[in-house]
Amino acid sequence: MKRSRFSEEQIIGILKEHESGVPIAGLDTLLAAIQNAARPRSTKNSVA
């Protein structure tokens, strides 16, 4: 079975945001922020 990209809590939160009137464009921005926060940081290009 394929693992979901988002947790159940994240999906519920996004749906509640949409129900409260947040436009789809705003939700897209929120989803992108969640994905970037969950992505491991690359140390290849970091400056020490």
pLDDT in tens, 20-47: 998 888 888 878 887 777 666 666 665 6
Angle subtended at Cα 16 by Cα 14 and Cα 22, rounded to the nearest 5 degrees: 75
47 or 16: which carries more pLDDT confidence? 16
Q: How high is the pLDDT of residue 35?
A: 75
Q: At what angle do helices 24-38 and 8-19 cross, to 10 degrees?
A: 160
Q: How high is the pLDDT of residue 2?
A: 74
pTM for the structure as a whole: 0.54
